[in-house]
Amino acid sequence: MTRNLENGHPMTILVTGANRGLGLELTRQYADAGHRVLACNRRPADAPALAGSVTWKTLDTGEAESIEALATDLAAQPVDVLINNAARRGDTGGLDTLSTDDFLTTLRINTLGPLLMVKAFRPHLERGRRRIVANISSRAGSVAEGLDADGDYAYRCSKAALNIATAKLAFDYRLIFLALHPGWVKTDMGGPQADLPVTESAQGLRAVIDAAAPGNNGSFRSFDGSRIGW
């Protein structure tokens, strides 16, 4: 087991979308480092078995009732780090296939979900030692750096909206809010042609999260620690 504890203490990390992809790897790595992980997904019965302190919890980040039920279930639990990781790609066909339902579902899960998580878990975070919210965003949501030749209107708009939500939360509340770009990662979402193994992305994101200090509040960073323009 690779120990990398915060001042020798295990942290409590809540990860959304923990059953596959980047969320699963973050869960695995934090648990392997000796931290307690509240690993959330839509169907905990199907969750993989992991070593270490991993507690699977039911959470659909597209449903406010599901978020509120989890916050109530964990009412006595301080949370050091909330990782808003769950997301969907949405339609990729450009204006030709743009649909109201797909667009709004994508914003509901990728933007409103993280905001409702912060609303519900602010008391838990305020009782934690680190008080960090890591919103897994994407360079695809950067107006300054993100434009590319694809048809991802819903996804890009959802991540751009998550970015301004992160900056606004950082302005309003005394926690540490980060918008993080994980790189182009080999997961179901990133696809097999992606250039970054999920292990490397998660290691980089953990390093950025673990080093976060109040001076980093409201910053948009890549997994390698570099700043990204909004």
Ligand X SMILES: NC(=O)c1ccc[n+]([C@@H]2O[C@H](COP(=O)([O-])OP(=O)(O)OC[C@H]3O[C@@H](n4cnc5c(N)ncnc54)[C@H](OP(=O)(O)O)[C@@H]3O)[C@@H](O)[C@H]2O)c1
Smallest gap from Cβ 182 to ligand X, in A, equals 5
Residue of 70, 64, 65, 110 whose CA lies nearest to 91? 110
H helix runs in 33-135, sequence order: 64-73, 100-107, 113-126
Helix (H) or strand (E) holding 224, with range, is none
Identity of the residue, 124 or 156, whose beta carbon is nearer to ligand X in the bound complex: 156
The answer to whether 168 and 120 are in contact (CB under 8 A) is no
Identity of the residue, 128 or 183, whose beta carbon is nearer to ligand X in the bound complex: 183
Smallest gap from Cβ 19 to ligand X, in A, equals 5
Smallest gap from Cβ 185 to ligand X, in A, equals 4
**Can you name the residues that pair with 177 across neighbouring β-strands?**
133
Identity of the residue, 14 or 185, whose beta carbon is nearer to ligand X in the bound complex: 185
Smallest gap from Cβ 9 to ligand X, in A, equals 27
Smallest gap from Cβ 23 to ligand X, in A, equals 5
Residues that bind ligand X (CB under 6 A): 16-17, 19-23, 41-42, 59-62, 85-88, 109, 136, 138, 182, 184-185, 187-190, 194
The answer to whether 139 and 145 are in contact (CB under 8 A) is yes
- HSE-CB for 57 with a 13 A CA cutoff: 24
Identity of the residue, 10 or 38, whose beta carbon is nearer to ligand X in the bound complex: 38
Identity of the residue, 24 or 79, whose beta carbon is nearer to ligand X in the bound complex: 24
Taking CB atoms, the residue at the shortest distance from ligand X is: 21
**Which DSSP string corresponds to 156-196?**
HHHHHHHHHHHHHHHHHSSSEEEEEE--SBSSTTT-TT-SB
